[in-house]
Structure 1
Amino acid sequence: MSKKKPSSTGAASGRKAPILVPDRFLESGRSQPTEDRAKLIQDLADLLRKNNLSELEFEREGLRVRLRQELTAKPAGPVAQEPVAGQAPAIPSYAAAPPADTGGLVTITSPIVGTFYRSPSPDADPYVEEGDTVKKGQVLCIVEAMKLMNEIESEVDGRVVKILVESAKPVEYGQPLFLIEPTPAA
């Protein structure tokens, strides 16, 4: 293996360690069959993931390949296994997951990936506090995704038992946000 760096940008953690590039990337060869090019592209994609890069550009003798991937913050705690091509991704585990026994409590989850906010603005009071009584459809928080503020509403009438996420923290799709004790039907 050589210790040459391909043209790349956006190292996720700002680390300075060299990126190891297999020698076959550095070999010259005039004309590559289509199968070899496909293998080369797959190898470059593996290199991109392995080195946690957001972008990798490779050029050799008229063949230019640019690969990009979106890097997301990984949840603290158990890490989900990377999906295999053609296989559905595994559902991640969350450090702030509710206890296994929620005893009849309703779990409100994030419908999108974004940033969790407990209040409509930094200087405003939170929408709800633990112990507050809420009505079905009442706004509990905001999840910001791509500069869009998405209001998350209560699915039931009840009492907020636990707020599982700190304000201004990233959340994943399906991540538990609140535990609500439903009001018994009269």
Structure 2
Amino acid sequence: MRLYGSAFESIQGKVVKIDLQQIKELLGIVSSTDVTELTIEFGDQRITVKKEKQLAGTIEFPLPRDMRPMPPLHHNGGIDGTPPPVAPAVAAPPAPAKVEKPEPVAEEASSANTVAITSPMVGTFYQSPSPTAAAFVKVGDRVSVGQTVCIIEAMKLMNDLPSEVSGKIVKICAENGTTVEYGQTLFLVDPKG
């Protein structure tokens, strides 16, 4: 960038002397603005002032993306001295959903002469082998001992849950894709049905 200020007009053919005060002013201009390089030519004389990047005096080690801190902000404000923009506040994550208590097995089983099929583990309840496949069983279906009635996913493992009783499915007590607890009633089966 070439700068010809009013103090340097009509310099063609003349020897121009630059004093220390003028050099200090040029350095001040470069350091207080976003200009990274300033070159001034007077005939065959040239002054170049360059601003190098400041290197941080710290050593950084790569961290996983979710553990990386935000980079430090080096901002001196705008030209008019306004403060740097503030990032919008981030909303807190929603509170975890309240986990339902396992249904009382004895009351439901005895009241309707049904037998409960319960979850043998904590995991995610799936009624079918895939989202597009038909459910293993529906209300009204007959099941036999050993027949798969659902899948419980625990720690990325799909566990088939076989029926321990023969009979008719009276009620499906868990919703597809929800978390179930150990001992929670999943199905009610009428062994006489």
- For normalisation by structure 1, the TM-score amounts to 0.49
- For normalisation by structure 2, the TM-score amounts to 0.47
